[in-house]
Amino acid sequence: MTDKNRSQWDLCRFIETLTYFEVIPFLNWVQQLIQGRPSDNQDRPNGGRNMGVILVAGATGGVGKRVVRRLGERGFNVRCLVRDIEKARSILGNDVDLVVADITKPETLTPIVLTNIQAVVCCTAVRVQPVEGDTADRAKYNQGIKFYLPEIVGDTPENVEYQGVKNLVEAAAKYLPTAGEKLIFDFTKPSDELKNIWGALDDVVMGGVSASNFQLLENTAMFAGNVSTANSGGFASVRTKNFTPPFNLSGYQGVELRVKGDGQRYKIFLRTETAWDGVGYSYSFDTVANTWINIRIPFADLVPVFRAKVVKDCPSIETSKVSSFQLMLSKFEYDGALNPKFTPGGFALQVESIKAFGGETLPQFVLVSSAGVTRPGRPGINLDEEPPAVRLNDQLGGILTWKLRGEDSLRASGIPYTIIRPCALTEEAGSKELIFEQGDNIRGKISREDVAELCVQVLQQPRARNLTFEVKQGENKADTLNWQQLFSHLQADK
């Protein structure tokens, strides 16, 4: 190659690239020291985190606040729907995402509340408390013990348990993803997290002069730059840092990109190795100039590649440990073949989302209801043997009747759901054995801790989809709970 065909190589950009991706640990440590950044891995991207949001309604209640805590401990993105933000901060702390809304007022269920939700856990309930009165008819006796009837405090059961739940169901249905999909990156909602994950990885690492960047714009991300074939180069790319832990995409069939390109052919890489220069599983896709299209990439169609050469006898991608993603525009296809749609110079690829598709359908709306909702007015029921909520349903504004109507609104919505009907809730310690039944006949009690854990578990259990069940605690402490087995004998709603 003659000197006139060579361009000035950028040593500083070469070092910046290697430092960003932590290829040279010493340089990365020096940069952290100079910038005052922590040297541990606390800001490393987390593939185990569900990139979509779990919306918790009733987040300050006895069950709701426990659901929020447990989801956070497991790395989920949690958004708390609350009516009083100051009260919520005092209960939930300052490290949670709070949005102000009221399910009884549908106009407050805005995109700010619902954008990017992956699932909803609804723990809302009217407040019920015993109120002492000064008249004899307000007091009741049970085996000679005087107690006072409970009263509804605040909004009515009809507004909260039925109309409020219905409002939330109808609003969420417009934002929940298609069943069987897992959102990996949503660029319609820019964040510092997304911005800090992706970095340029161009042919400067091999002596070239191509340059690209990755910008988060309004409702999209832009992979753009200039590709040059000078210095035997010819590719530009953006790549994520390694995720710790990696993404677990087992159970899905592939990934789907929603993109708007410039008519050129691009590549995507999924990597299961954290090594800088390891094998990547690649797929080439064509774009249509200035047109949004969806690109579905089955995992079975990914090609194992090392430095643009196909790796023979390489095993299929291990989808349970996808550690990084990469987008690329390259002069080459594979094994020396040229990209038939490549043009040097400026390029631009907009990306709206990357998601996994073809997975098992998980519950997307978990509703905490109550045991006993079908018993008021049921023929043959002996009210003397029923818990207070059933005996006093009429005095409490038909609370169980309206809870059942709320359940029905969820069943009719078409959203994959789980309806949990706990028996009497207690403040006792959790981790008890659980007894599940259907038919609304059981009586007993259950810790709010165990109900919260159950809410978190059903979000990850396909067997729990479209189930309604009652639950109470058993007599013994549970060693371990096999959730699949617990759900296996329950029948889906028809």
Burial tier of 136 (Cβ tally within 10 Å: 0-12, 13-18, 19+)? exposed
Residue 24 pLDDT level (bands cut at 50, 70, 90): low
Rounded to whole angstroms, how far apart are CA atoms 376 and 382?
10
Residues 6+ apart with CB under 8 A from 486: 434, 436
Give yes or no for residue 252 having a pLDDT over 50: yes
The per-residue pLDDT for range 438-464, each reduced to its tens digit, is: 999 999 999 999 999 999 999 989 999
pLDDT at 18: 73
State the pairing for strand pair 198-200/53-57: unpaired
CA angle 418, 421, 424 (to 5 degrees): 150
Q: Tens of pLDDT along 346-395?
A: 999 999 999 999 998 999 999 999 999 999 988 888 888 888 888 888 88
Alpha-carbon distance of 269 to 303, in angstroms, equals 9
The pLDDT of residue 33 is above 50 = no
Supply the pLDDT for residue 20. 72
DSSP conformation letters of 331-382: SB-STT-B-TT--SEEEEEEEEEEEEESPPPPP-EEEE--TTTT-TT-TT--
Mean pLDDT for 284-309 is: 96
Q: Please, how many CA atoms are within 13 Å of residue 58, restricted to the half-sphere of its CB?
A: 26
The pLDDT value given to residue 487: 83
The H or E element spanning position 445 is strand 445-447
Beta carbons of 239 and 324 less than 8 angstroms apart: yes
Structural domain boundaries in the chain: 53-128+156-180+363-488, 184-357
CA nearest 80: which of 64, 59, 94?
59
Instruction: Supply the DSSP string of 67-135, one letter for each residue.
Output: HHHHHHHTT-EEEEEES-HHHHHHHH-SSSEEEE--TT-GGG--HHHHTTEEEEEE----EEEE---SS
Q: Is the pLDDT of residue 132 over 70?
A: no
Q: Is 23 exposed, middle or buried (0-12, 13-18, 19+ CB in 10 A)?
A: middle
pLDDT of residue 358: 95
Cα–Cα dist 298/341, whole Å: 22
Longest dimension (CA), the chain: 105
Q: Does 184-357 match 53-128+156-180+363-488 at the fold level?
A: no
Residue holding tokens 């039944």? 437
CATH of 53-128+156-180+363-488 given 3.40.50.300, 3.40.50.1980, 1.25.40.10, 3.40.50.720: 3.40.50.720
Contact at 8 Å (CB) between 405 and 164? Answer: no
Q: What percent of the chain has pLDDT over 70?
A: 86
Average pLDDT for the chain: 86
Cβ(57)–Cβ(122) below 8 Å: yes
**Predicted confidence (pLDDT) at residue 105 exceeds the cutoff of 80:** yes
Please state, as a whole number, how many other Cβ atoms lie within 10 Å of the Cβ of residue 41: 9
User: So what CATH class is 184-357?
Assistant: mainly beta
CA gap 451, 422 in Å, rounded:
7
- 137-164 pLDDT, tens per residue? 444 444 444 444 556 556 889 999 999 9
Q: Could you tell me the pTM of the whole model? A: 0.75
**75: nearest Cα among 48, 52, 99:** 48
Residue 125: pLDDT above 70? yes
Q: Are strands 182-186 and 345-357 parallel, antiparallel or unpaired?
A: antiparallel
| pLDDT tier, 431 (very low <50, low <70, confident <90, very high otherwise) | confident
Q: Which amino acid belongs to residue 111?
A: P
CA distance 322 to 269: 10
User: Is the pLDDT at 96 greater than 90, yes or no?
Assistant: yes
pLDDT of residue 369: 97
